[in-house]
Chain A
Amino acid sequence: MGLLIQDKQVVVPGEILAQGMDYLPGHGTYRDGDNIKSTRLGLLNVEGRALKIVPLKGAYLPRKGDTIIGRVDDIAFSGWRFNINSAYPAMLSMKDGTHEFVARGADLTRYYKLQEYVVAKIINVTSQNLVDLTVKGPGLKKLGPGRIIMVTPAKVPRIIGKQGSMVTLIKEHTQTQITVGQNGIVWINGKEPKKEAIAVQAIELINQQAHVGGLTDRIKEFLEKRVPMPKTTKKVEEPKKEDTEVKQ
């Protein structure tokens, strides 16, 4: 009876997590008679009486309030259609895309061109999975020159770390600007291309090893080995305010 698997253990679909009525099924779990079983491959998370699974991998499902990075895939009559690394495209309407007055029939590529990357916020997801975006808000903007890498959306919280600790660590070591979208798209721009490559490697390392403990220390070691922290007491480059940091 009670909990059969310990917190933070890897579980497979169908595995019995707990028996009896002491626990409640949460995300990625279901109740089958007396048992709570897993529906996903991931780590078990025990939060009080609720059990939930943090999946090891998975596609991105758009959720209201998420700050994401999208790529302009199409320009429609009244806005822009974005690829948001999900099965569903997202729409950015003219109203939410710019403060300017847009005349009828105006060229919408003036604001966002095809293939450009934009940090945007999901304002609504309908039952039919129509996704609406906005770029009105702090930190939401069009992204300039840089690189785009893809990570597993489930690993995004680990890349950001507690209160953005992990991403700040990478930024300070490699002197790069990094924006992480909840949908697993990461934008990186560094002054020195060699350090930028190290930042990319660090993020890929997190993406691969997010489920193994002691991650922060390993990333720190990885970065120290390659780019020792500048010795000045003051940070060389404060992370700019406009840099978006998505909260966990």
Chain B
Amino acid sequence: MNLQIQNHIKQSLDQQARVDGRKLDEFRDLTIEKGVSQTAEGSARVILGETEVIAGVKMSVGEPYPDTPEDGSLMVGAELLPMSSPNFEPGPPSIWAIEIARVVDRGIRESKAIDTKKLCIKKGEKIWLVAVDIITINDDGNLLDAAGIATLAALQDAVFPTYVDGEIDYKKKTKTKLPLSKLPIPVTVYKIGDNLLVDPVSEEEESVDARLTVTTTEKGQICAMQKGGDAPLTIEEIDKMCTLAQKRASELRKKL
């Protein structure tokens, strides 16, 4: 990106002003729409400013892993559609797509938000496999947080399909919801120069020095973290980032 424009954005941030007039610790308008896909067991569309992400949940029956015979499994995948940004190309998942999927997955997995024991049909033989697919519609910054919120909304929306005699009927949905007990919301705090901010737009994202994604639950427990970018972070900064992420997460949780 143009260095002069990057410097201009950095200088503005030093005066606590962002490109769109927001405060540094302010999110853009968030819209969550659940049940956007009829074929998925659960789905959600999340619009964060101009950023738009859709997540879908598919459930199937399979064999459990040998080391966890009583647990269902969760799988999260992300696809960055080339139409959503000039930086995305078709082909196998990019590093960034893998990172988004893994960070979202980690938050849900490590917080134990899904009671995997309840996904067991027959111990050691049959379990429910929950697959979440994240698809980007438009990238205007902060895809990671949008993807995390979309995944949680889709999981909230998800219901089991009917399962009789080893056959799944996807056309008939039951009223049983997916056992989701917590809402681990990832909030990424970005560092540009000496400033910490959340929810950057693309322009700001291009000049980010470092970022830290902190996933917190309702109780304020930190259940997952991910650091990105080249610049190092001091202990004080990480402290500040965690507090900020927790605060924003509790506000975002109200919208889910």
Contacts and interface: CB of A to CB of B under 8 A. Distances in A.
A201 B21 contact: yes
A147 B2 contact: no
Interface in A74-130: 115-117
A147 B5 contact: yes
Contacts of A225: none
A198 B5 contact: no
Interface string A159-203: 000000000000000000000000000000100111011101100
A193 B2 contact: no
A198 B131 CA distance: 43
B9 interface: yes
Contacts of A145: 4-5, 7-8, 11
Interface residues of A, number: 18
Contacts of B7: 145
Given A145-B7, A147-B19, A201-B21, A196 B1 contact: no
Nearest to B3: A115
A146 B5 CA distance: 5
Contacts of B3: 115
B165 interface: no
A148 B20 CA distance: 12
B8 A197 contact: no
B9 A194 contact: no
A116 B3 CA distance: 8
Given A146-B8, A193-B11, A198 B21 contact: yes
B15 interface: yes
Interface in A37-91: 71
Contacts, number: 46
B20 A115 contact: no
Contacts of A117: 2
Of B4, B15, B17, most buried by chain A (CB within 10 Å of CB) is B4
A117 B8 CA distance: 14
A159 to B, nearest CB: 18
A102 B160 CA distance: 71
A14 interface: no
Nearest to B21: A197
Interface string B234-255: 0000000000000000000000
Contacts of A116: 2, 4
A59 to B, nearest CB: 15
A144 interface: yes
A115 B207 CA distance: 14
A79 B171 CA distance: 61
B182 interface: no
Given A193-B11, A193-B12, A196-B12, A148 B5 contact: yes
A197 B17 contact: yes
Nearest to A116: B2
Of B1, B8, B19, B20, most buried by chain A (CB within 10 Å of CB) is B8
Contacts of A194: 15, 17, 21
8 contacts: A115-B2, A145-B11, A146-B5, A147-B203, A189-B8, A200-B19, A200-B20, A201-B21
Interface of B: 1-5, 7-9, 11-12, 15, 17-21, 203
Interface of A: 71, 115-117, 144-148, 189, 192-194, 196-198, 200-201
